[in-house]
Structures are given as C-alpha cells and as structure tokens.
Amino acid sequence: MSYMIKISLLLNIFVLAPVCYGLLSKASWVDVSYGSATAARGILLSVYIAILLSSILLFFKADPKFVAALLFAQVIYKLTTPFTVGTVTNSVVISNLFIAFFHTVTLFIIWKEGHI
C-alpha cells in the first residue's frame, strides 16, 4: 500500500486534532479563522471530528477504497471553500487548498495502483 495514503491520513490527523481542540476549547484564534460561535461552526466541528476519527481508524486499518472515498470528499469540499467563503485570503481556505492538492496526489496514486 502506498506510503502516500499514510501521509495523507497523518496530515488529516495532525491538522484536525489541534483544530478540533481549538474549536472545542473556544481558543482565541478560532474566532479569527472560523468566525464567531454559531450553529454552522458547530456543524463544521462535527464534520471535522468525523474526518479526524475516520482518518485515525483508516490509519490503522487502511483500505485504499475507503481512504479514496474520504479523501475525494475532502478534496471537493476544500476546493469549493474559496467560492463558499468568498475569498482566498482566509487562512482556513489557504490551508484547505494546500491539503486538497496533497490529497489529490494521493488519490492519483491510489488510482494508478489500481485500487479504484
């Protein structure tokens, strides 16, 4: 199995663990990056927790098809954030675009290895 799968999953874990902690603890940087506490921010936290837990599970029991599904959904939502947020200067949007690029490379490798 591709080492890129593990790296993509670790990227999710290392990015989302502190982000989820920050959102849960209402850290000062959260309002700057994500706006004030709203129902929408709570829903986003739920999505982030789902991606984080899925990434942890798949890191230990990686099935390329499941990883591809997770990464594909992430790439779509990350690539659409500049349009839904209305800017490319927001730090979350910028990081989303870099992570989407990385996950796209992993998806290409999974496809090239014949897993999807």
- Render the burial of 36-63: b for 16+ CB within 10 Å, e for the rest: eeeeeeeebbeebeebbebbbebbeeee
Q: What is the pLDDT of residue 114?
A: 87
Average pLDDT, the chain: 95
pTM for this predicted structure: 0.93
**Residue 41 carries which side chain, given as an amino acid letter?**
R
In the block, tokens 């670790």 appear at 10
Give burial (CB, 10 Å; 0-12/13-18/19+) of 87: exposed
Q: What is the pLDDT of residue 77?
A: 96
**Cβ atoms 87, 28 nearer than 8 A:** no
